[in-house]
């Protein structure tokens, strides 16, 4: 009689498993890289202080049609005490704002001079998982439509290897 081993070894993937259907394949990107620091972002974004949501841009295609940025969610941010006391959760609107800022950076990188662009429309938005202080929120952006006047992008947020949100946004030069 043969006795089966009480444990079997199952091969594990070489790297983290990312959600299916992301607009950028995060497995193909070195997420530790930095192509734009928080300071560099000031050239491309009008946001300052607490409303500058991004910590860095990790990667973008040479034509700036796709990009990935990082927001490290800190426990000293302005929304933590009130959303929600004792159990802070990053508001969805701020998650989408962070992605919109990445979209503005990619939009402006294609212009001879940066324009101020405003977030004008949000469609097909769904929030799937919570983002809390201590999390790294990866923002992904893929251009759907671009003109000098504005843009439409598919944006996503990923935290803890889970899709946090998925949406389409539009922005317009103002």
Read off the CATH number of the domain in which 121 is found: 3.10.129.10
Please indicate, yes or no, if residue 153 is contained in any of the structural domains: yes
Query: What CA dihedral angle connects 152, 78, 127 and 54, to 10 degrees?
Result: 40
Stretch 3-13: mean pLDDT, rounded? 43
Task: Give me the pLDDT at residue 96, please.
Answer: 98
Q: Are 103 and 115 in contact (CB under 8 A)?
A: no
The percentage of the chain sitting over the pLDDT mark of 70, rounded to a whole number, equals 92
Task: Give me the pLDDT at residue 8, please.
Answer: 41
Active-site residue, from 39, 72, 83, 154: 83
C-alpha 82/C-alpha 7 separation (Å) is 47
Per the annotation, the verdict on 83 as an active-site residue is: yes
- In this model, does residue 86 exceed pLDDT 50? yes
**Helix (H) or strand (E) run with residue 108 in it:** helix 92-109
Please indicate, yes or no, if residue 134 is contained in any of the structural domains: yes
Please indicate, yes or no, if residue 131 is contained in any of the structural domains: yes
The domain in which residue 125 lies consists of 26-173
Please indicate, yes or no, if residue 18 is contained in any of the structural domains: no
Task: Give me the pLDDT at residue 169, please.
Answer: 98
Please indicate, yes or no, if residue 10 is contained in any of the structural domains: no
**Helix (H) or strand (E) run with residue 106 in it:** helix 92-109
Please indicate, yes or no, if residue 43 is contained in any of the structural domains: yes
The percentage of the chain sitting over the pLDDT mark of 90, rounded to a whole number, equals 91
Q: b/e map of 64-89 (b: 16 or more CB within 10 Å)? A: bebbbbbbebeeebebbeeeeeeebe
SS (H, E, C) 122-163: EEEEEECCCCCCCCEEEEEEEEEEEECCEEEEEEEEEECCEE
Query: Lowest mean pLDDT: which of 88-92, 113-117, 153-157?
Result: 113-117
Task: Give me the pLDDT at residue 11, please.
Answer: 42
Q: For the segment 155-165, what is each residue's pLDDT rounded down to a tens digit?
A: 999 999 999 99
Q: For the segment 53-81, what is each residue's pLDDT rounded down to a tens digit?
A: 999 999 999 999 999 999 999 999 999 99
**pLDDT, averaged across the chain:** 92
Query: Lowest mean pLDDT: which of 1-15, 33-47, 91-105?
Result: 1-15
Stretch 24-42: mean pLDDT, rounded? 97
Q: How many separate domains does the chain show?
A: 1
């Amino acid at each position: 009689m043969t006795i089966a081993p009480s444990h079997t070894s199952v091969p594990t993937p070489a790297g983290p498993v990312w959600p299916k259907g992301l607009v950028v394949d995060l497995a193909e990107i070195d997420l530790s890289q930095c192509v734009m620091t928080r300071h560099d972002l000031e050239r491309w974004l009008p946001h300052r202080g607490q409303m500058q949501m991004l910590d860095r841009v990790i990667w973008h295609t040479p034509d700036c049609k796709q990009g990935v940025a990082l927001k490290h969610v800190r426990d000293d941010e302005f929304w933590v005490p009130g959303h929600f006391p004792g159990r802070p959760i990053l508001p969805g609107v701020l998650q989408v704002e962070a992605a919109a800022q990445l979209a503005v950076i990619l939009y402006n990188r294609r212009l001879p001079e940066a324009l101020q662009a405003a977030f004008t429309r949000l469609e097909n938005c769904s929030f799937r998982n919570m983002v809390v202080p201590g999390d790294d929120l990866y923002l992904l952006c893929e251009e759907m439509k671009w003109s000098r006047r504005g843009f439409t992008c598919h944006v996503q947020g990923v935290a803890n290897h889970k899709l946090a949100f998925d949406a389409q946004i539009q922005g317009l030069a103002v």
